[in-house]
Structure 1
């Protein structure tokens, strides 16, 4: 019984000590104190913190009536991504190119089956591939092959 109580005490003590030692939130500096427990406070004047912000990135997939695809990634807006994908589709000889899918700060995967293609977007490349493959198989396709993946992750812009 004493070992069990000691174990719980150590676990709780470790948990509270860990919670006190975590990093400070953005815009704050970590300071030591006389009792040895660090605390957070305003930034020190000698602290050089990165200044900037995250910028959204967009991508799009356009497909023509004859199956030609046009891609765009890492664009600053949804509209620019759509226009770029259509232009890319047309430049490859596509006719009547239309945007099939847009995505923001994410990845896209396109999988081909015997009777068509399946596109899906998700937070990561692997998740997008998994979703597109699942769609292909769910549609009864027996031979699903990855055609292409593309990502447009948010990017850090320094001020």
Structure 2
């Protein structure tokens, strides 16, 4: 007999048990993860960049990057990269006084992959001069369960 907890077997509240039935506890809830976004906003003329990471939407990532670019003195900020569930880096020419100088940025599955791409691009844009990574970040999923 299958009886509710605290009920004596044989009571009318008990149900006949199914032969071979096994009481199985429900599976625990699996954790839920929310992917996050990042963005870069650049003003070439003012030579400033705004970044964002860990935002829950592309729109929020773009807004935050644009706000940071403007707060750093940018007047003509444009979004140059948005990324979700990946890494992104910014590479810049090592000689900051050289004009013109060109930076580069890239996204990728790891910081190493993104760095390789951004450094190669920066190197080529600057007449094969050395560049370095000046910013790197990866968006991380957030546990929401």
Normalised by the length of structure 2, the TM-score is 0.71
Q: Deviations over 1:118-158 (max 9, x none)?
A: 00001111211111112122333311111111211222321
Q: Distance in 2 between matches of 1:124 and 1:144?
A: 19
Q: Deviations over 1:84-113 (max 9, x none)?
A: 100011112221111111101111111012
Bigger helix fraction: 1
> 8 Å contact 1:107–1:153 — kept in the other structure?
no
Question: Any idea what SS the aligned residue of 2:104 has?
Answer: strand
- 1:109 counterpart = 2:89: yes
Q: Which TM-score applies when normalising by structure 1? A: 0.65
- The structure having more radius of gyration, on CA atoms, is 2
Task: Quote the residue 2:35 is aligned against.
Answer: 56
RMSD, aligned CA: 1.7
Q: Which has the higher contact order (CA 8 A, sep 6+)?
A: 2
Give distance in 1, aligned partners of 2:120 and 2:130.
Answer: 12
Match of 1:136 among 103, 119, 122: 122
* 1:76 and 2:43 are equivalent in the alignment: no
Aligned residues: 114
Contact 2:46–2:73 (8 Å) recurs in 1:
no
Deviations 1:31-61 (A, max 9, x none): xxxxxxxxxxxxx4176x3433221210000
State the secondary structure of the residue aligned to 1:133.
Answer: helix
Q: Kindly provide the CA deviation profile for residues 4-48 of structure 1, in whole angstroms up to 9, marking residues without a partner as x.
A: xxxxxxxxxxxxxxxxxxxxxxxxxxxxxxxxxxxxxxxx4176x
In structure 2, what is the Cα distance between the partners aligned to 1:141 and 1:67?
21
Task: Return the structure number with greater strand share.
Answer: 1
Hey, what does 1:146 align to over in structure 2?
A: 133
2 CA distance for matches of 1:141 and 1:50? 54
Aligned match of 1:127 in 113, 120, 145? 113
